[in-house]
Structure 1
Amino acid sequence: MPAAKPGGRPRSTSLWAVLNAIFYVVTQGCKWRAIPADFPAW
């Protein structure tokens, strides 16, 4: 994962958590709004 660029707003969510949520949606075939609460908010 690329590092955040300097001078911008700091990230509030881990990119790994977002990537894992994307993989979950793709493999389970569910809607983004239906992902479990363990993942970042949609």
Structure 2
Amino acid sequence: MAHTESFASAWLEAWNSHDLDAIMEHYDESIVFYSLSFSN
């Protein structure tokens, strides 16, 4: 559980800092992100 909390805390800190590089460190390089909020 400590790893999960540490991971979540680091992700949240990166998000709140608007640090895209730090945010992306939490994802695999092959991630594909879909959002219904944005459309073509």
TM-score bracket, normalised by the shorter chain, equals: 0.3 to 0.5
**TM-score, L = length of structure 2:** 0.42
Which is bigger in relative contact order (C-alpha 8 A, separation at least 6)? Answer: 1
TM-score by length of 1: 0.41
More helix by share: 2
